[in-house]
Structures are given as C-alpha cells and as structure tokens.
Amino acid sequence: TGKNYTLKTELKVRAGAGTNYKWKTVGQLTAGGRKAATSTNKNASAVLKSGTVVTALQVIEKSNGDIWLKIPSGYICAKQGKSVYIK
C-alpha cells in the first residue's frame, strides 16, 4: 500500500477486486487514469496502457491467491495464477 508499480501489460480497470465486477469506462477514471487509458472515448471500456505507473491504495489478496490493487481509478489485477502483471 502506498507504493508505485509499473504495469507490464495493458490492464482492465474494474469497479471491484475481481473479474466478476464490471469494467469501468474511461469517463469514470481519474484525470491521470484517462491520460493512461488506451482510448480517449469516455464511453469505452477502461484499459490502462502497459508502462503506466500506478499507486496502490490497497492490496487485496483473494482466497484463490489472486492479488488485486485498488488504485485511484478503480481496481486492477496484479497477479492471477502464476501470471504477474506489475513490477
């Protein structure tokens, strides 16, 4: 929590910590999130570009071992199974 991480791949921004939550739209992101989004269309699904630096407000470890980060714009998956999406 409070640390900065760099995305190793494009990541979807969700409304909650899990794939069962809806994607946010670009228009629902913070100003910084909108700048880092792959689309400028405010109604498009929110996907952050690879290389984006995010600040973790909260780290959430799910019962299945997946790790999600709460960032100012929403939630992103940091680790799923053996795949790690941040550094």
The predicted-structure confidence for 19-75, as pLDDT tens digits, reads as follows: 999 999 999 999 999 999 999 999 999 999 999 999 999 999 999 999 999 999 999
Determine the Cα angle at 84 with ends 61 and 17, to 5°: 35
Asked if 76 and 12 touch (Cβ cutoff 8 Å), the reply is: yes
Q: What is the pTM of this model?
A: 0.94
pLDDT above 90 (res 1): no
pLDDT above 90 (res 12): yes
Task: Provide the pLDDT for residue 9.
Answer: 98
Q: What is the 3-state secondary structure (H, E, C) of the chain?
A: CCCEEEECCCEECECCCCCCCCECEHHHCCHHHHHHECCCCCCCECEECCCCEEECCEEEECCCCCEEEEECCEEEEEEECCEECEC
